[in-house]
Amino acid sequence: MAKVLITGGCGFIGRHVAEEMLAHGHEVRLYDAMIAQVHGDATPDLPQGAELVRGDMQDASGVRAALNGCDGVIHLAAEVGVGQSMYEIARYVGANDLGTAVLLEAMLAHPVQRIVVASSMSVYGEGYYALPDGTLLENVRRKPAEVRAGQWNAVAPDGRPLVPTATNEHKRVDLASIYALTKYAQEREVMIFGEAYDVDAVALRLFNVFGAGQALSNPYTGVLANFASRLASGERPTIFEDGEQRRDFVHVRDVARAFRLAYEKPEAAGELFNIGSGSAYTVTQVATLLAEAMNLPHLTPEITGKYRSGDIRNCFADISKARDLLGFEPKEKLENSLDEFVAWVGGEVVVDRGAEMRRHLEERRLVS
């Protein structure tokens, strides 16, 4: 079996990927900068058998040392969060895009057989929409002025209503945030490098990942963790727009399995895949389900009726390609996995920074 370097390996997804790879006989080395916004002051519990090297993705010598002796890479290291990316632009571009470039240059000195990079559903912008006659549209964009006026739903150019539809990998990208831009750049850097240097390269476009181990004190992490932090602090979850925007939530253990399959399957080379649950949920539905699971149904969501710059309305996954080529099948649905998540939240020290996040965005006129 291979020795695999997992960048960002101490993060929420990274730890689960490490466990999955170790359980299937691979050796694992983790490379992580352990930034305070994600990890606080503590080193998280790491999977038994995983080797840890601390370092920054922009430190070329550190990355080269971490690569030494590895057969492959699973590249997860990235700054995460649409909202924060819109004002900490240099930080996101540096960590995500320059960091990936440093990794690829290091791979020239330490060649590997395969690299799997974590991309994001955010690269799609709005997902597919259909006209009433079934015609698919892939270049739908909401106009900021109309959204700020409360016209939340996208419409056809002639004003006809549109139906949000599952999005597959054929949809053209439409980058609506700095975060999306950096994730697409990461994806393309890796795929271009793989083709040029005959390295098997695979990109996974992850939808909304949830599960035990998310950073509850990081307000720019996953929406479920944000809602849990608010609820555990006795506060109502905050939802932008009208709460009817739809997303795909996929369990972190399913995501970890997808990374292993993408690393192991020969037919994955040169391909990109959606990794989601294949189901769509409104954001209000998610907040309500979580409040009920936490026995806090009275803490109903605060629907702000405000637009956050960079947000899209609807995007959920068509996972047919991952099913066909990877043999990927989600095993854990959101509505059946909340009890485990809630039990984990109950054992954590929660610091709710949701109000701080909202203030930062409002001060920069990114919420209106």
**Tens digit of pLDDT for each residue in 199-237?**
999 999 999 999 998 877 777 677 888 899 899 999 999
Lowest mean pLDDT of 1-15, 26-40, 176-190, name the range: 26-40
Average pLDDT, integer, range 239-259 = 96
| pLDDT number for residue 42 | 61
Domain range for 37: 3-363
Q: Is residue 79 part of a domain?
A: yes
**Tens digit of pLDDT for each residue in 54-99?**
999 999 999 999 999 999 999 999 999 888 899 999 999 999 999 9
Locate 208 and state its tokens: 């909304």
Locate 9 and state its tokens: 């390996």
Question: Which secondary structure element, helix H or strand E, spans residue 329, and what is its range?
Answer: none
Q: Is residue 181 part of a domain?
A: yes
Q: Is residue 368 part of a domain?
A: no
**Contact at 8 Å (CB) between 112 and 7?**
no
d(CA 310, CA 47): 35
d(CA 293, CA 220): 23
d(CA 110, CA 92): 26
Q: Is residue 199 part of a domain?
A: yes
User: Which residues carry out catalysis?
Assistant: 179
**Tens digit of pLDDT for each residue in 10-50?**
999 999 999 999 999 999 999 998 775 665 556 677 888 99
- Domains in the chain, number: 1
**Can you say whether residue 123 is alpha, beta or left, with left for phi > 0 and alpha for psi between -120 and 50 degrees?**
alpha
**Tens digit of pLDDT for each residue in 85-134?**
999 999 999 999 999 999 999 999 999 999 999 999 999 999 999 998 88
* 184: exposed, middle or buried (Cβ count in 10 Å: 0-12, 13-18, 19+): buried
d(CA 12, CA 81): 14
**Tens digit of pLDDT for each residue in 311-339?**
899 999 999 999 999 999 999 999 999 99
| pLDDT number for residue 349 | 77
CATH code of the domain covering residue 161 = 3.40.50.720
Say what the pTM is: 0.94
Q: What pairs with residue 51 in β-bridges?
A: 29
Lowest mean pLDDT of 30-44, 240-254, 272-286, 333-347, name the range: 30-44
d(CA 33, CA 357): 23
Q: Is residue 98 part of a domain?
A: yes
